[in-house]
Structure 1
Amino acid sequence: MSLRIENQTCYIDTDTLHQRLPASALTVITDAAKSMSAVELAGERIYVTEAEADALTVAGATDGRRHLKATDGDSVI
Structure 2
Amino acid sequence: MPVHIDETTHRCTLTGADLRLETAGSDIEIVTDEQLRMSVAVAAGQRVPVTEAEADALTVAGAKDARKHLKASVPGSMI
Q: Call closer, same or farther: CA 1:76–1:14 in 2, change over 3 Å.
A: closer
Q: 2:6 matched to which residue of 1?
A: 6
TM-score (norm 1): 0.86
> Within 5 A, what are the aligned runs for 1:45-64?
45-64=47-66
Cα distance in 1 between the residues matched to 2:52 and 2:33:
12
> Within 5 A, what are the aligned runs for 1:1-77?
2-7=2-7, 8-77=10-79
Alignment RMSD, CA only? 1.6
Structure 2 gaps of 5+ residues are none
Structure 1 gaps of 5+ residues are none
Deviates more, 1:33-42 or 1:58-67: 33-42
Query: 1:41 deviation in Å?
Result: 3.5
Check conservation: 2:29, 2:43, Cα contact below 8 A.
Answer: no
The number of aligned residues is: 77
